[in-house]
Each structure stands twice: as structure tokens, then as C-alpha cells.
Amino acid sequence: MEKAVILLSGGLDSTVCMAVAQAKGLELYPISFNYHQRHSIELDGAKKVADFFGVQKHLIIDTNMNAIGGSALTDQTIDVPEGNPERDDIPVTYVPARNLIFLSYALGYAEVVGASYIYIGVNAVDYSGYPDCRPEFIEKFQNLADFATKATVAEHKKIKIETPLQDLSKKDIVLLGTKLGAPLQFTHSCYKGGEKACGVCDSCRLRLRGFAEAGVMDPIAYEKQE
């Protein structure tokens, strides 16, 4: 059985991405990150998702991206703004170079476990405008990955970056996750990290709109829904 490393945040997209990899018949190796983000609720969700899929190992990497700061998700002095799904600028919730760092860890892990694939739930349709979610970024990282490891250089083993949600709307992602039986009830997308999702940040608004357009009941609780 071929293996896949899954970047699992505990959010909607990464959980559906993991369900896609399972449906492909791949052996799942999820990797999550405690990067000293604003809250740990999403990471708690990742643990539940990993348990749901019955993986042999769920790797959690500890890295202190709050030491760099520069994001409302890692710097407690920067407030999380109310969301605007129609924005065309890069919001303060962008974490500098996060996907570059996470994919680098995933690439090393894939080499160690002998995985042929890395799955990441980046999306260029309904998202918050982050530069490291674009197809151009993934293409450039793939080019780099092909020259970055012993597996790819000396053993000529390709480690392919898979982005199955890249061109899907949030509606499509919800429908796909529902079809595949992904445990959406364990996912958490809110930037603020309260006991209930806030319902007003970018991530909450995009998620709520996706569920509404899909005609599917969102299984998590919200403080506020517009």
C-alpha cells in the first residue's frame, strides 16, 4: 500500500483532504503542528480526526512561530478582525511562510516513512487571500521538493504534492466531505478559538457560507450566525 503524509490542521479543508487520501486507498500519516498559535482547539480537533481514521501514528510537531509573530494567529497583541469573504487584500491572519515551513516538515517526514504523496488542503477559490495557498506556490514547492531529499535525488523517488481541493469552492468541499463520510463534527475553523466558533471571522464566514450553499447542516456550534 502506498503511503501519504497528510497536513492535518483539524480544520474543514485538511479533514476533507484526509478523507480524499483514504478514499484513494493510501496509508495515512497525518502531521499536525503546535506552532504556538492563538488557540489549541483546532489541534484538539486534529487529534480526534486522526483517531477517527484509525491511523497508526499521528505526528505532532512543536515549533514556536509566535517567536516570529506578525500574524493575528500567533501574536496576542494583534486582534483577529471580523471577516470579509469578499476581501482582495492579505489579512492580518496570514502567518508568514506557514505553508512553506509545514510542507518542508512534511517532505522530510514523507522521506522517512517512504511516502509517495503529501496531501495539503490549500484552496484558491474560497479562501482568505493567503499567498501560500495559490497553485503557483505549490508548483514552485514541488520543483524544489524534487531536488531537496535523498529519496528524490539519489533514489529517484518522486514525492508528489497533492492538492485535491485547490479548485473547489467551500460548497464543493462540504459536499465532498459529506460524500466521503469525513468527520466534520470534529473540525474547527474559527480563528478566535472560543468554546464555540465566533461566526464572524473570515474563516467562520467562509465555512458557514459553504455549508449554507451546500444545503448541509454545519455540525459545530457558533456564538453568532448572520
Q: Which residues, including other chains, have CB under 8 Å from residue 136's CB and lie 6 or more apart? A: none
- Mean pLDDT calculated for residue range 42-69: 93
pLDDT in tens, 101-140: 999 999 999 999 999 999 999 988 766 678 888 999 999 9
- Mean pLDDT calculated for residue range 12-36: 96
Domain count, the chain: 1
Q: What is the CATH number of the domain that holds 173?
A: 3.40.50.620
pLDDT at 128: 63
Least confident of 12-16, 23-27, 71-75, 121-125: 71-75
- Which residue from 56, 61, 151, 47 is spatially nearest to 103, judged by alpha carbons? 61
- Which residue from 110, 120, 111 is spatially nearest to 9, judged by alpha carbons? 120
The three grid cell numbers given for residue 197, joined into one nine-digit string: 466558533
- Domain with 197, as residue range(s), is 3-214
Mean pLDDT of the chain: 91
CB 180 within 8 Å of CB 139: no
> Is there a domain that residue 226 lies in?
no
DSSP letter assigned to residue 25: T
Rounded Cα gap, residues 29 and 19, in angstroms: 12
> Is there a domain that residue 225 lies in?
no
